[in-house]
Amino acid sequence: MSDKPLVYFLCTGNSCRSQMADGFLNALGGDKYEVKSAGLEAHGLHPRAVQVMKEAGVDISGNTSDVINPDILNRATYVITLCGHADEHCPVIQNPNVIKWHWGFDDPAKATGTEDEIMAQFRNVRDAIKARIEAFVQQGK
């Protein structure tokens, strides 16, 4: 267990958005925060998420897709949902000291079109998440 504030990113499947947020916060603020991510379900790490994060210089290929752990949920400093479904269906947080935020991002796994169009959506979401993580780290929250 770490004495750093724990940030727990939650999404529906823990395959794209929460993995990107996990990767960026570890890369940009891992010295300040303990970082974990999970989903309401575990859909596996999306290969396109791994690819676009690699393009940004962050390797998430070793990450695992995990289901929300109630113990981690209740010892987190910040619980941050990244999709509306996870926000609406997040398990009840028993610890009143947990700060819960919702940062909504479109699901790139639902993108349609050509491969280039789908990858563009993954990159757009990646870049939006990176900007939000950079602001979080700069503000110290």
Which residues does the annotation mark as catalytic? 11, 83, 90
CB 39 within 8 A of CB 8: no
> What's the token pair of residue 119?
């990858």
Torsion from C-alpha of 44, 10, 121, 132, nearest 10 degrees = -140
Cα 25 versus chain centre, distance: 9
